[in-house]
Amino acid sequence: MEIELTELIVRLAGHDAMLRAAAMDEFLMYTYKVRRCPKTRSHDWTYCPYAHRGEKARRRDPRKFPYHGIACPEFRHAGECRRGQNCEYAHGVFEFWLHPTRYRTRLCEAGLMCPRRVCFFAHSPEELRPEVIHDCFRCELRGHTVGVGRAVDDVVGPCCAKPACCLGGVGVERARRMGSRCRILNGLLTW
């Protein structure tokens, strides 16, 4: 049985627009190009929301393989990463922009006139999701966040044992040495 993405979302959320939007967000962040395609016959996989063998858009489930919403330097440079699914960084555009800390945290340049079938960006201020900065992987998995205005020098998550805890995968001292590649705003490290 073939089910279109929009039909699936309507089935999940009924006719409530807010619930439908939330269901769509949830689907795109955690299922789109993550779950294997259930279809057994040949079809145009570029229009299919599910993952297919060898497809570049295929991605890891951020709940099962916790990784940061930061591009893997090795993957960006070589197109592959020796750490594979165990890498703590995003591999490819889909993993990067559909990561829960990135998805719809910025406005789409095309706005309401966006021609994309799947867009990673918000099309109105109401669709914007808050950009969350996590203290570390353990904090990210447990839903803890850095408070606004918290000093970068003493960034330690409530479940971290190390003061040099990573913010987005980069230790505080290393981030300072990186200079222009990252910036500190209101006491928070951002990209």
- Structural domain boundaries of the chain? 1-131, 132-191
What pLDDT does 15 receive? Answer: 55
What pLDDT does 75 receive? Answer: 95
CA dist 150 to 4, 72, 171, 178, Å?
45, 27, 16, 20
**Higher pLDDT among residues 12 and 42, named by residue:** 42
What pLDDT does 76 receive? Answer: 93
What pLDDT does 65 receive? Answer: 92
The DSSP letter of residue 45 is: G
Whether 67 shows a pLDDT value over 70: the answer reads yes
Please state, as a whole number, how many other Cβ atoms lie within 10 Å of the Cβ of residue 81: 17
Q: For 110-156, write each residue's pLDDT tens digit.
A: 999 999 988 999 999 999 998 776 545 555 555 554 443 333 333 33
Q: Is 25 left (phi over 0), alpha (psi -120 to 50) or beta?
A: alpha
What pLDDT does 21 receive? Answer: 76
- Rounded Cα distance between 12 and 25, Å, is 12
pLDDT mean across residues, the chain: 73
Residues 6+ apart with CB under 8 A from 64: none
What pLDDT does 106 receive? Answer: 95
Whether 82 shows a pLDDT value over 90: the answer reads yes
Q: For 93-119, write each residue's pLDDT tens digit.
A: 999 999 999 999 999 999 999 999 889
Beta bridge partners, 170, equal 167
Q: For 26-57, write each residue's pLDDT tens digit.
A: 999 999 999 999 998 999 988 899 999 889 89
Whether 83 shows a pLDDT value over 60: the answer reads yes
What pLDDT does 24 receive? Answer: 86
- Rounded Cα distance between 157 and 85, Å, is 25
Span 56-82, mean pLDDT? 93
